[in-house]
Amino acid sequence: MQRYRIIEDPIDIGEVVTKVEDRNAGAINTFIGTVREMTKGKKTVFLKYDAYVPMAEKKLEQIGDEIVEQYPEAKVAITHRIGRLDIQDIAVVIAVSTPHRADSFAASRYAIERIKEIVPIWKKEHWEDGEEWIGDQLEKKSYSKGHPEEEDLT
């Protein structure tokens, strides 16, 4: 079972959830990222996602490992889709199971934030009047040294 995947086809939510089922899980949190039409008043027509696939899958796995280090009973699965996505399409599904609910929320939130920091996936927004590669990191911080600090990577 491959728990960290980059795929080109639509993501099956149930399949991702199934990967984290566990007799001692009382909670499964899933985060589903979808393509939103309006961002800051601008209308998206469609998106294209690209990835450095083998490294992206490794980095998703690293995120899962980081979660298990913090929550030893957690199980994690993440699938990210690449290629052309239309409005409402699902770009990413994260599923985290834990014995108790608070940890499942915290770990799922951690996973999506980490994806936006270290996983080599890029989104190109296509509007009616143009297109642009988006760099989410720049919204929050700039890597002046050309790479993330040690704390962002490990």
Partner 1 sequence: MIEILLFAELEEIVGERKLTDPQLVGKTINEVREKLKQDYPNIKQIDRAMVAVNEEYAEDDQQLNEGDVVAFIPPVSGG
- State whether residue 84 is helix, strand or coil: strand
Contact between 30 and partner 1 by CB under 8 A: the answer reads no
Output the smallest distance, CB 44 to a second copy, in A. 10
Q: Are 5 and 15 in contact (CB under 8 A)?
A: no
Instruction: Return the number of other C-beta atoms located less than 10 Å from residue 143's C-beta.
Output: 13
Which of 10, 70, 83, 101 is the binder for a second copy (CB under 8 A)? 101
Output the smallest distance, CB 94 to partner 1, in A. 9
Which of 50, 53, 55, 99 is the binder for a second copy (CB under 8 A)? 99
CB closer to a second copy, 68 vs 112? 112
- Of the candidate spans 13-21, 37-45, 66-74, 114-122, the one that interacts with partner 1 by CB under 8 A turns out to be 114-122
Tokens of 132: 């642009």
H/E element, 93 = strand 90-98
- In single-letter form, the type of residue at position 151 comes to E
Residue 23 contact partner, candidates a second copy, partner 1, none, CB within 5 to 8 A by sort of partner: a second copy
Distance CA 127, CA 20 (A): 37
- Of the candidate spans 15-23, 35-43, 64-72, 121-129, the one that interacts with partner 1 by CB under 8 A turns out to be 121-129
Q: Shortest CA distance to 55 belongs to which of 138, 122, 124, 140?
A: 122
H/E element, 80 = strand 75-81
Output the smallest distance, CB 99 to partner 1, in A. 14
- State whether residue 130 is helix, strand or coil: strand
Which residues contact partner 1 by CB under 8 A?
33, 49-52, 54-56, 58, 80, 91-92, 101, 112, 115-124, 133-138, 142-143, 145-148, 153
